[in-house]
Amino acid sequence: MNGMSETQRAQPINAQLLYLHRLSGVRYSATFESASSYALTPIHGAVRHASVKELANAEVWQLLP
């Protein structure tokens, strides 16, 4: 055992990430769904789904601090 609890191991996965969709100017909260996708929730509007590969496209998405 490495001394980390189950909760500590899950924290990076469950952490909320914020992304800016550069083309529309909409900010999304990204929630981990699976090994290859996230649910993107805006303040107003419908939830979007994006793959890790799509979110890596810096021309479309910007990870916010």
pLDDT in tens, 4-51: 444 444 445 556 799 999 999 999 999 999 989 999 999 899 999 999
CA dist 43 and 26 (Å) reads 9
pLDDT tens digits along 51-60: 999 999 999 9
**b/e map 2-41, b = 16+ CB within 10 Å:** eeeeeeeeeeeeeeeeebebeeeeeebbbebeeeebbebe
| Domain assignment present for 10 | no
Q: Which domain holds residue 35?
A: 17-63
Task: Decide if 1 is inside a domain.
Answer: no
* pLDDT at position 14: 57
30 inside domain: yes
Question: Is residue 33 situated within a structural domain?
Answer: yes
The pLDDT of residue 5 is 44
Q: Is residue 54 part of a domain?
A: yes
* Comparison of pLDDT for 29 and 3, the residue scoring more: 29
Could you tell me where the DSSP H helices lie in 3-60? 6-14, 52-55
The tally of domains found in the chain comes to 1
